[in-house]
Chains A and B, each alone.
Chain A
Amino acid sequence: MEPSETLGREASASVSERGLQEFIVNIAGISIFFLFDKSPLEFGIRNIESEFITDKPPQIKLQMHNDGFPEKKQDKKIFDSGSTWSLYRNQGMYLLQDDSLDPGSSVEKLVILESDFKSGDIYIKNDLFNQNLIPDPLGYPLNQVLMILLLSHLGGLLFHACGIEDRGLGYLFLGNSTHGKSTMARLWSENQATVLNDDRVIVRKKDGELWMYGTPWHGDFAEVSPKGIPINRIFFLRHGKRNKAVPKEDREAVSMLLTRCFPPLWDKKGMDDSVGLCHLIANKLPCYELSFIPNSQIINFVRNI
């Protein structure tokens, strides 16, 4: 049997009268502990349900607050997306917020991380504190930017990809928007394969192998799995008039991987590590450019490669 790892467990928890004030989420082997400073019941939060909830020891502890924002000045800008998020430093800490650094911006969520990435605080405006934020308190894009930060520290890379487990083999289909990731997920799901995620998949080194892990952040195909499995083949998706797989040389494959991932662009060492991981993937795994027609014939076509 092929190795696999279920990172979370099917779990749900109801908020008791005492109030469930903490939970741990595990994504790609990275456990994040969220602790409320008040009973979530006060905000109408009554249940926490997700296969990504775990009882593994956390690597990072985050305290959640809803009672105002601390005054934090920007000592050093690290990255400003110009719209949906920005990252800066203050007295050695990292600050991540859900808007640009422009003076007129309106910040509704703020994450303050200690420089060792082991603990921090999340500040969320009171009127946003509701059931929709549980168990993913940050929401897009801070949830994914936080993961990019943690991966740059702990090793790994978030890819714009669809991950599939089929008959004990792991296929990673990479593509940017409209390249067919969700279509591919639906086709494989209809053919008894497990979809890890149709839009965001994390790749990490483990025991000398390259593993992929499902994340909660799906696209149009909503079924996800927290599972981790070794990758057997890499495919770069494109629409075509017939099903065709063209092997890609290492150099080309590295370029294609880099344009289909979310590297820490602000961090030199993190970028070196990201390029290194893309090199390793291209060297170790067979990579193909896959043109396909969106029907079930692609399933056997890929199985026979």
Chain B
Amino acid sequence: MGKKEKVRKHYQKPKINQVELAMDEAVLTNCKWDAADTSGKNSKGCGFAACKTTFGS
């Protein structure tokens, strides 16, 4: 039985992928409370959908 031929992979230089984040979304700062009729920041009256959430509704 012949020797199993070793298959060598061509060397590929590692590549750096730069990932661009939408920062206001990635760090949860995109509340639009200043544009809405609110009595306080982050309130349920905020215009941003996530702020309007009624838990589990």
Contact = CB atoms under 8 A, between A and B. Distances in A.
B49 A259 contact: no
B37 interface: no
Interface residues of B, number: 27
A263 B26 CA distance: 8
Contacts of B22: 176-177, 259
Interface string B15-50: 001011110011111110000000011111010111
Interface of B: 17, 19-22, 25-31, 40-44, 46, 48-51, 53-57
Contact of B31 (A108, A132, A136, A140): A140
Given A81-B28, A140-B50, A259-B26, 20 more contacts: A79-B27, A98-B42, A108-B42, A134-B55, A136-B56, A139-B42, A139-B51, A140-B31, A140-B42, A141-B31, A144-B50, A160-B25, A177-B30, A217-B50, A217-B53, A219-B49, A219-B50, A224-B56, A255-B17, A259-B19
A265 B42 contact: no
Interface stretch (A44-52, A165-173, A205-213, A282-290): A44-52
A189 to B, nearest CB: 15
Contacts of B49: 199, 218-220
A265 B26 contact: yes
Interface in A61-96: 79, 81-85
Contacts of A99: 41
Interface of A: 49-53, 79, 81-85, 98-99, 108, 128, 132, 134-136, 139-141, 144-145, 160, 176-177, 199-200, 216-220, 222, 224, 226, 251, 255, 258-259, 262-263, 265
8 contacts: A53-B56, A135-B56, A216-B56, A220-B49, A255-B17, A258-B19, A259-B22, A265-B26
Contacts of B27: 79, 81, 262, 265
Prevailing SS type, chain A contact patch: loop
A140 B30 contact: no
A2 to B, nearest CB: 24
